[in-house]
Structure 1
Amino acid sequence: MAYQSPPFRSQVSTAADSFARNREDHLALIEKMNGILERSRTLSDAARPRFEKRGQLLPRERLTRLLDPGSPFLEIGNMAGYLLDDSNPETSVPGATQIAGIGYVSGTRCMIQVDDSGINAGSMTRTSTRKGCRVMDIAIEQKLPFVHLVESAGANLLEYEVEMWMAGGGIFARLARLSAAGLPVVTVLHGASAAGGAYMPGLSDYVVGVKGNGKAYLAGPALLKAATGEVADDAELGGAVMHSQVTGLVEYLAEDDAHGVQLCREVVARLNWNRRCPSPPAQDFEEPFYSPEELLGVVPVDYRQPYDAREVIARLVDGSRFLEFKPAYGITLLCMQANIHGMPVGILCNNGPIDPDGATKAAQFIQLCDQSDTPLLFVQNITGYMVGTQYEHAGMIKHGAKMIQAVTNARVPRLTLMIGASFGAGNYGMCGQGYDPDFVFSWPNIQIGVMGGEQAAKTMSEVFRAGAARKGRDVDEAMLSAQEEKVIAHYDRQSDAFYTSGRMLDDGLIDPRDSRRVIAMALQTCWEGRHRAVSPNAFGVARM
């Protein structure tokens, strides 16, 4: 048996008052997160009487029946739209009227999108298009079949925005690209799919239509009458039965929602998708020696309170074992080799701002992982790169640039987990969203932005004082203090995890205790995507 490093020896006392305080702070944020996420389910479930009257399953019931029992589901964009579609934190509902994520259907790993038609009939918000594009981009990158359970009133005409209409074309373009990339698109038409939404089934490779409720038309009865004066009922105009007999838009006709989902599962099963991808090598792995439950006590909610990032990694990786790369050099940026669920991974995490030595070490480590085809995990708690005369003379710019070059151009899977601060160029160097990581997830305590509110306020005050001195003017300190308070409030509001996740600056918020499971699922998805053979063509499969 190959030599293994001994488990990391933790210096954290789980009996310490600081541990208990950290845990309580995290639990409060987790409770807040779960409460906000529950709003979507509660609002959707309130439509049950209407669904039962139509003989339908609720959207989440459709998802449950679609997924293999007991299999994992990695939700994407759980906070999308929060504080954006509705700016009131007391009433804003996350999710952008969609439930999306990676799950198993008939043993096949798929990207799944479910229109949450229990909320405003599934009408799209300004964030819905962005979320839909993101999940389809992941499907294309990771070579996943795309399964869509459709029932949506389309764009909300009362909240029309020209940008939203324009971006909607990206949804249809991605459906075409999925098919052309050899990635099957399977749609269940549970309810109405009108106007541009009619192209959701129209651009799918396989369509299951639910008798009675499933409908697709470019112009619904109301629009048709307003535009042409023609009067037609739903079923005649675009019902699932008509499309199965007349237009050929529907391949499989289902009696009801449950039957439609079952037919979808059979369609996916008959793809025999897994024959085109080797099974990953069987790996026995140890659970961490230290429980992931302890993460809540290890990491302070306030990013300004220091802690040893090794304590975090010891609660994420197999056996709490890792091999640290150049541990005595560039000590504020840690580079480690470890395994998660038996899968090798190179980990970069922060023990302070990045200095020239740390940037140089990181650039080399990233290139070595790229050479050995080892996925990279960036665990962010970073306030930025070091500044000052000493660091400028030491080449901070060129060494930081080398790190960013390596981060940007690494060919291996790159995953990002944000667990504390994520400010300025530190976000960039640690593979923030702008660097197209395969997945990026956040804890609910993170703070993200160009800089912290206090730093921004002090910077602006110094600029103001310098300008006043040049002009020989006195400084109104009371005015300056009031301005600082406004700047701090403005920056801090936008750096909050719930605010940024609502704008999809990540793929969702997660409970810190789920980090190991989420990372493992993401690593497995990336492995499969890079080992799967597909049969692309020059254009999507044409509907006949």
Structure 2
Amino acid sequence: MSIFKSRVNTNSDTYNKNHADSLAAIETLRSLEQRAVTTSNKRRPVFEKRGQIPPHERLSRLLDPGLPFLQLHSLANYLVEDDNPETSIPGANLICGIGFIKGVRCMIWVDDSGIRAGSMTKTTMPTIISLQEIARRQKLPLVHLVESAGADLTTFLVESWAGSGGMFKNLARLSAAGIPTMVVLHGPSTAGGAYMPGMSDYVIGVKENGLAALAGAALVKAATGEVADERQLGGTEMHSTTSGLVEYLAEDDTHGLEIARDIVGRLNWNTRAKPPKRRPFDPPLYDPDELIGVVPKDYKASFDTREVIARLVDGSDFEEFKPRYGAATVCVQTSVMGYPCAMIGNNGPIDPQGATKAAQFFQLCDSANLPIIFLHNTTGYMVGTEYEQAGMIKHGAKMIQAVSNIRVPKISLYISASYGAGNYGMCGYAYEPDFLFSWPNSTSQVMGGEQASKTMGQIITAAAERRGEPVDQELIMREEKRIYDYFTKQESAFYTSGRVLDHGVIDPRDSRNVIGFALETCLEGRNRDLQPNAFGVSRM
């Protein structure tokens, strides 16, 4: 055993400042998430008048009580369509995550029709594609509670229509892979949205409110002149008796959710996967709540990533790999919640030795089938003559090559800075980690705002000198400030999560539980046998 001895002083001014800064960021996160819930629930009287259950309550009634639910993409669309932090509503008009239905781990996606009638935002489609990709990778049944006004015609872009086809393609591929897809039609689903039930394996339609049609009554009249009755056109009653689109007709929302739970329970899903092997484990010796005092808000302030690891892993017990070689890159073998895994973290930029160590470590983990957790705290690969001559490019490339091709589960956490190509080597967004979460105070960008602004100043100076002109210091100051503000605005975890560049922002104190849940999800998926078919289940 190699139990880590912490050097953190929880009574120090540094710890207390980190703690206060982190708490403020966590409060912002919770406030933003609550903003979406509050906005949605304002329409509760409208739902009740129609005899419906509001979207957040639909989710809670679908899930097994008392079992964990991992919410995903709770900040999607934040600062995208509305760039005012005081009014922007996160969530992309969706409520989604991984939870349990009749003991079955499922991907669940609820249209939040309490916000703009569930119409699509600029980031709704990327969020949906992300959910579907997770469901495919982790072999999770997909349950979709449908009620959406579809595209907002006042802001609709042709590229949105072109890209939306991917959502239906993914449903077809999930079905063909043997991963069940299911829809509960609580309300309208028209135009392209009609293919949500059309492409799903199981469709439950709610009487009186559920509706699916390629064109609603208004569009039918505009296109053909026909005056159509909405219920005859696409009501669930018609689809259950005439078109055959609906397999199960529910009396109301509650009944529809009961049917959905019953169907999932009858899939016999859990008999087709061996439970992941979990060793007996002890909790960390150090309280995971201390994480918010360990990591500073300022990424330029140093901390030891081992202090983070010690508050995440079982018994604070880990074996460090090549600790004296490339020492700023920390690689360990350990376990979380009884599941053997590896972790890599950074104590600053990655040097040539750190990159080669990481590349070797990734290959060893792949050979041993050890999942890897990436704790991002790096401003990138080292630069300068010394490092270029030492082969920084080729050694960094080895690390990127290795992380691109390892086959084990990969879980990334942005815990501080994640900049430049260091983000790539540490399994950032483009490297398709199975799960990627950000801490509220973390930042990610091509480089920091300060470095970007100084670079711009040097570019302006060099250009003036080449032309033989005097250097305009006022121009430099103005441009440096513009670049600094521009880069700094984009590096915030709230900003990047709003653009669906992670799977969500989490409270650092929840990290151990989130990692454990994600590991179990990945391992369960790897152990599952599917019954694929050629073209997916076609509606008859």
Q: TM-score normalised to the size of structure 2? A: 0.99
Query: What amino acid sits opposite 2:32 in the alignment?
Result: I
From 432, 437, 447, the equivalent of 1:436 is: 432
Letter in 2 for 1:52: E
Aligned residues: 540
Q: Give runs of aligned pairs for residues 386-405 of structure 1, distance below 5 A.
A: 386-405=382-401
Partner deviation per Cα, 1:314-341 (whole Å, 9 max, x = no partner): 0000111110001111001000011000
Partner of 1:72: 68
Taking the aligned partners of 1:86 and 1:71, their CA distance within structure 2 comes to 35
Alignment of 1:39-50 (within 5 A): 39-50=35-46
| Corresponding residue number in structure 1 for 2:127 | 131
2:278–2:337: 8 Å Cα contact kept in structure 1?
A: no
SS of 1:402's partner is helix
* One-letter amino acid matched to 2:20: E
Within a 5 Å distance, the mapping from 1:124-523 to structure 2 comes to: 124-523=120-519
Give the deviation of 1:113 after TM superposition: 0.3
Deviations 1:75-131 (A, max 9, x none): 111110001122221111011000111111111011110000111111111111110
Q: Does 1:12 align with 2:21?
A: no
CA contact 1:407–1:430 (8 Å) conserved in 2: yes
Secondary structure, aligned partner of 1:284: coil
SS, match of residue 158 in structure 1 = coil
- The residue identity in structure 2 corresponding to 1:515 is S
Task: Supply the distance in 1 between the matched residues of 2:112 and 2:347 (Cα, whole angstroms).
Answer: 42
Aligned AA (1:42) = T
Aligned to 2:107: 111
C-alpha displacement of 1:497: 1.2
Residue identity matched to 1:505: L
Instruction: Confirm or deny: 8 A CA contact 2:216 2:230 kept in the other structure.
Output: yes
**Structure 1: tracts of 5 or more residues without a match:** none
CA contact (8 A) 1:317 1:338 kept: yes
1:11-41 Cα distance to aligned partner (Å, 9 max, x none): 0010111111110000111111111111110
Structure 1 letter corresponding to 2:237: V
Tell me which amino acid in the other structure corresponds to 1:471.
R
For the 8 Å contact 1:85–1:127, the answer to whether it is kept is no
Structure 1 residues 229-238 or 105-114, which shifts more? 229-238
Q: Distance in 1 between matches of 2:23 and 2:42?
A: 28
Q: How far apart are residue 389 of structure 1 and its match?
A: 1.2
CA contact (8 A) 1:146 1:184 kept: yes
Secondary structure of 1:186's aligned partner: strand
Looking at structure 2, the residues matched to 464 and 33 of structure 1 have their Cα atoms a distance apart, in angstroms, of 39
State the shift of 1:283 in Å.
2.7
1:199 partner SS: helix
Does structure 1 conserve the Cα–Cα contact (< 8 Å) formed by 2:205 and 2:246? Answer: yes
Shift of 1:282: 4.1
Counterpart Cα distance in 1 of 2:8 and 2:278: 34
Q: Secondary structure at the match of 1:480?
A: helix
Q: For residues 37-78 of structure 1, give each alpha carbon's deviation from its aligned partner in whole angstroms, at most 9, with x where no partner exists.
A: 111100100000000001110101010011111111111111
Deviation at residue 400 of structure 1 after TM alignment: 0.7
- SS of residue paired to 1:81: coil
Counterparts of 1:44-59 in structure 2, within 5 Å, are 44-59=40-55
User: Which range moved further: 265-274 or 232-241?
Assistant: 232-241
Consecutive unaligned residues in structure 2, runs of 5 or more: none
C-alpha deviations, 1:123-162, integer Å up to 9, x for none? 1111111101110011011111100000011111111111
Give yes or no for contact 1:290–1:314 (8 Å, CA) kept in 2. yes
CA shift digits 1:218-272 (9 cap, x unpaired): 1111111111111122211111111111111111111110110010000000001
